[in-house]
């Protein structure tokens, strides 16, 4: 989850180590970071740790839960700094923060894209009452080189590369779902954090590679309900390597089948008016998942339970607002982190 | 409405002459065109001619009605050929036709933009059942240089120019309205023609500069109902001159006020299932305009009546399908056209 070639040194890193916790992650000097492996997750969450996936990139959402920062940027380990058409290196984090700090416009489409960007504005015919926009919760960045394709498309188009730099950021309109990729994603944790649960994927679960998609559908439905914005477009990162399409197909195939029922479900979800917080929305969504998707597969009953566990764990770790992680646990983690670094340096 | 600098020579042009019909329009040699002035419109439509605006760019929709072609491209007289970032001249018509010939994806957002374009596809998480898309009815192109701003924005930002070439085409999602600009617009006349009525604007009317907006709102609502797609983005044209913001303010100010009620109206319009043709949808829409917007201003009662007249006139001229214009009238127009050309050549 860290990217030594990019300019992450000024930022606080949370590294969630996937898989075997006995393996040592080597982090170069000069980074301000916390590292969590499976043992740490089990220790911090106790029995609630079963909501965090194992041997799947979905484990990253544990980092969202323990973070004490307002803005989260999550990136895959095979993503590097991309260049714009002039050859200049793109500061992805800076663009994400710009996206998150300026409003979104989910209620009406602006044909010149992000109206808050320098050199552009709302076009003729855009209602003035909607020009203040709404707070932006999510900034979804894109990928040059290897596009984020599913296994069937990877198999059909193994050589396709994304070389097109589209110089735009836009709001995804209210009521429209999108495939949220976790490869290059930023969000305002205070606004939407508890909805960014990456589900039950990977080890012991019937599917993988739908972690970010699940989070995206839940997040979009909740953002629409709460009047928050979701942007997509810039920044680009350089996605260096394609994952194995045969392995991906095995992980995905149930998801590919199930999503045909999931999308109509999420398209028709309505949340009651008294769902005024992300947590309330998410618990309500978990009930609807159980009621309507449980019959698709028993997996969704388990997932609905895990959604509730996730919120319980989130609230437990974030009970006192900004100082989210209990101080004692935080110290334990600091110790573990130093120890890990010493071992990796030897 | 014609653009001598662009490559329109292979195409059939319909020129609708705005204002004083005694003025002679000079069309260079080598163009295959029909020219209609106010006298022609009155002669062809008789009493129904009152649905066609006078002294306003809204008059152009008469051309949509008399055309016998499948694809219509409408362009303002101050629009010229733009160049892409490599300096190559953009063939706007070619891009519009590409947009209209490939499907649209209104039900789910594809983060890599138009999935049918070379070098791109649907991303992971895009439901397979939606990948065939729906027929595209409208291709909305953009403008480099002078952006399409309303009068207040023109006044606040007189020097702002659009220099950003965004290399993308995208579908505007179902349920989302957009400000459709008539400056650089193409559509499939067979699919959506009768909805492209530009309303009552200009001479004798309380507003102007909302002709294309009105058409866009009606068109989008009907496309959403009928399962047709609307795309925006490429191609760009070069918009050479900004219109006078003070004149524009006078034309627009009621529209700016009214649109705050029009947008919620169009956002909540639902059309009954038995509205299976564009004409039926449009007549139903006219009834709802009268019922719900008549109280905003009596203008909307007149507009609702004009919407019905427009459909009557459309059906009269297009009764025999593809051979839309009755042959007699067509011959009259050919004669008038030659006459006009002879005068202008002398």
Q: Which 3-state string (H, E, C) describes B190-244?
A: HHHHHHCCCCCCECCCCCCCCHHHHHHHHHHHHHHHHCCEEEEEEEEEEECCCCC
Give the residue on A whose Cα is nearest the Cα of B217. A125
Q: Given this model, what pLDDT does residue B304 score?
A: 98
Q: pLDDT tens digit string along A255-272? A: 999 999 999 999 999 999
Residue A340: name the closest of A9, A6, A114, A22 by CA: A22
Reported confidence tier of residue B10, pLDDT bands at 50, 70, 90: confident
Name which of B130, B147, B166 is nearest A166 (Cβ-Cβ).
Answer: B166
pLDDT above 50 for B330: no
Name which of A108, A121, A142 is nearest B111 (Cβ-Cβ).
Answer: A142
Q: Are the C-beta atoms of residues B141 and B184 closer than 8 Å to each other?
A: yes
Q: pLDDT tens digit string along A175-190? A: 999 999 999 999 999 9
Contact A124 B259 (CB under 8 A): no
Contact A153 B122 (CB under 8 A): yes
Q: Given this model, what pLDDT does residue B320 score?
A: 63
Reported confidence tier of residue A323, pLDDT bands at 50, 70, 90: very low
Least confident span in A21-30, A210-219, B106-115, B144-153: A21-30
Phi, psi of A170 (to 5 degrees): -145, 160
Residue A317: name the closest of A138, A79, A62 by CA: A62
Residue B75 Cα, gap to closest chain A Cα (Å): 17
Name which of B153, B209, B216 is nearest A121 (Cβ-Cβ).
Answer: B153
Reported confidence tier of residue B19, pLDDT bands at 50, 70, 90: confident
User: What dihedral angle (degrees, nearest 10) is formed by the CA atoms of A229, A235, A238, A243?
Assistant: 10
Give the residue on B whose Cα is nearest the Cα of A122. B149
Distance CA B336, CA B40 (A): 9
In a domain, B311, yes or no: yes
pLDDT above 70 for B73: yes
Q: Given this model, what pLDDT does residue B314 score?
A: 98
What is the number of domains present in chain B?
Answer: 1
Q: Give percent of chain A above pLDDT 70.
A: 90
Considering only CB atoms, which chain B residues are within 8 Å of A112?
A: 142, 147, 162
Q: Given this model, what pLDDT does residue B7 score?
A: 66
Considering only CB atoms, which chain A residues are within 8 Å of B122?
A: 149, 153
Reported confidence tier of residue B179, pLDDT bands at 50, 70, 90: very high
Q: Are the C-beta atoms of residues A297 and A237 closer than 8 Å to each other?
A: no
Residue A330 exposed, middle or buried by CB count within 10 Å (0-12, 13-18, 19+): middle
Reported confidence tier of residue A77, pLDDT bands at 50, 70, 90: confident
Q: pLDDT tens digit string along B282-320? A: 999 999 999 999 999 999 999 999 999 999 999 999 986
Distance CA A217, CA A261 (A): 13
Substitution target in B76, B119, B125 with the highest count of A β-carbons within 10 Å is B125
Residue B226 Cα, gap to closest chain A Cα (Å): 18
Q: Which has the higher per-residue pLDDT, A341 or A280?
A: A280
In a domain, A44, yes or no: no
Contact B109 A232 (CB under 8 A): yes
In a domain, B288, yes or no: yes
Distance CA B232, CA A175 (A): 19
Distance CA B248, CA B255 (A): 11
Q: Which has the higher per-residue pLDDT, B20 or A137?
A: A137
In a domain, A1, yes or no: no
Give the residue on B whose Cα is nearest the Cα of A216. B125
Q: Give percent of chain B above pLDDT 90.
A: 82
Number of H helices, E strands in chain B: 10, 8
Name which of A109, A113, A210 is nearest B172 (Cβ-Cβ).
Answer: A109
pLDDT above 50 for A50: yes
pLDDT above 80 for B323: no
Least confident span in A115-129, A218-232, B181-195, B326-340: B326-340
Q: Given this model, what pLDDT does residue B28 score?
A: 86
pLDDT above 50 for A316: yes
Considering only CB atoms, which chain A residues are within 8 Å of B168?
A: 164, 166, 168
Considering only CB atoms, which chain B residues are within 8 Å of A119?
A: 160-164
Q: What is the mean pLDDT of residues A109-121?
A: 97
Say how many CB pairs under 8 Å bridge A and B. 177
Domain that holds residue A87: 80-320
Q: Given this model, what pLDDT does residue A111 score?
A: 98
pLDDT above 90 for B338: no
Contact A260 B127 (CB under 8 A): yes
Contact A109 B180 (CB under 8 A): no
Considering only CB atoms, which chain A residues are within 8 Å of B125?
A: 150, 179-181, 210, 212-213, 216, 259
In a domain, B53, yes or no: no
Q: How far is CA A4 from the centre of its chain?
A: 20
ipTM (interface pTM)? 0.90
In a domain, B295, yes or no: yes
Least confident span in A72-86, B3-17, B97-111, B290-304: B3-17
Considering only CB atoms, which chain B residues are within 8 Å of A179?
A: 108-111, 123-126
Q: Give percent of chain B above pLDDT 70.
A: 90
Distance CA B191, CA A305 (A): 48
Q: Given this model, what pLDDT does residue B8 score?
A: 78
Give one DSSP letter per residue of A176-237, joined into a string: ------TTEEEEEHHHHGGG----S-BTTSS--S-HHHHHHHHHHHHHHHHT-EEEEEEEEE
Q: Give percent of chain A above pLDDT 90.
A: 82
Residue A196: name the closest of A320, A297, A314 by CA: A314
Residue B148 Cα, gap to closest chain A Cα (Å): 6
Q: Given this model, what pLDDT does residue A8 score?
A: 78
Q: Are the C-beta atoms of residues A59 and A14 closer than 8 Å to each other?
A: no
Contact A126 B179 (CB under 8 A): yes
Considering only CB atoms, which chain A residues are within 8 Å of B152?
A: 128
Q: pLDDT tens digit string along B232-245? A: 999 999 999 888 99
Q: What is the mean pLDDT of residues A135-160?
A: 97
In a domain, B68, yes or no: no
pLDDT above 90 for A321: no
Residue A90 Cα, gap to closest chain B Cα (Å): 17
Considering only CB atoms, which chain A residues are within 8 Å of B142?
A: 111-112
pLDDT above 90 for B113: yes
pLDDT above 60 for B331: no
Phi, psi of B196 (to 5 degrees): -90, 45
In angstroms, what CA-CA distances link A301 with A49, A278, A298, A305? 17, 21, 5, 6
Q: Are the C-beta atoms of residues B253 and B98 closer than 8 Å to each other?
A: no
Q: Given this model, what pLDDT does residue A2 score?
A: 43
Average predicted confidence (pLDDT) for chain A: 90
Give the residue on A whose Cα is nearest the Cα of B177. A108
Q: Are the C-beta atoms of residues B256 and B152 closer than 8 Å to each other?
A: yes
Least confident span in A10-14, A298-302, B85-89: A10-14
pLDDT above 70 for B2: no
Reported confidence tier of residue A7, pLDDT bands at 50, 70, 90: low
pLDDT above 80 for B4: no
Reported confidence tier of residue A10, pLDDT bands at 50, 70, 90: confident
pLDDT above 50 for A329: no
In a domain, B201, yes or no: yes
pLDDT above 50 for A343: no
User: What dihedral angle (degrees, nearest 10) is formed by the CA atoms of A221, A222, A223, A226?
Assistant: 130
Contact B167 A172 (CB under 8 A): no
Q: What is the mean pLDDT of residues B221-238?
A: 98
Give the residue on B whose Cα is nearest the Cα of A159. B119
């Amino acid at each position: 989850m860290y990217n030594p070639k990019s300019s992450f040194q000024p930022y606080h890193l949370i590294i969630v180590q996937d898989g075997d916790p006995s393996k040592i992650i080597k982090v170069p000097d000069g980074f301000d970071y916390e590292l969590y492996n499976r043992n740490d997750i089990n220790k911090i969450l106790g029995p609630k740790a079963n909501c965090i996936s194992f041997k799947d990139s979905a484990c990253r959402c544990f980092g969202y839960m323990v973070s004490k920062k307002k803005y989260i940027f999550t990136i895959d380990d095979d993503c590097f700094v991309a260049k714009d058409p002039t050859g200049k290196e793109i500061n992805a984090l800076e663009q994400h923060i710009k996206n998150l700090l300026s409003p979104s416009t989910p209620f009406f489409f602006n044909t010149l894209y992000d109206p808050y960007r320098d050199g552009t504005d709302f076009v003729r015919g855009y209602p003035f009452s909607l020009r203040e926009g709404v707070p932006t919760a999510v900034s979804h960045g894109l990928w040059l080189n290897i596009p984020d394709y599913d296994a069937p498309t990877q198999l059909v188009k193994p050589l396709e590369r994304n070389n097109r730099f589209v110089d735009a950021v836009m709001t995804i309109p209210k009521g429209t779902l999108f495939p949220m990729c976790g490869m290059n994603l930023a969000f305002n944790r205070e606004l939407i954090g508890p909805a960014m649960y990456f589900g039950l994927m990977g080890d012991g679960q019937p599917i993988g590679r739908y972690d970010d998609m699940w989070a995206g559908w839940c997040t979009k439905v909740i953002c629409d309900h709460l009047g928050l914005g979701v942007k997509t477009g810039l920044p680009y990162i350089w996605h260096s390597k394609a994952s194995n399409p045969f392995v991906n197909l095995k992980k995905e195939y149930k998801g590919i089948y199930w999503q045909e029922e999931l999308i109509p479900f999420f398209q028709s979800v309505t949340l009651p008016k008294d769902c005024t917080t992300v947590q309330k929305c998410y618990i309500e969504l978990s009930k609807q998942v159980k009621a309507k998707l449980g019959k698709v597969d028993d997996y969704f009953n388990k997932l609905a339970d895990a959604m509730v566990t996730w919120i319980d764990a989130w609230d437990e770790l974030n009970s006192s607002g900004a100082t989210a992680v209990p101080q004692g646990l935080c110290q334990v983690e600091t110790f573990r982190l130093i120890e890990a670094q010493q071992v990796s340096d030897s």
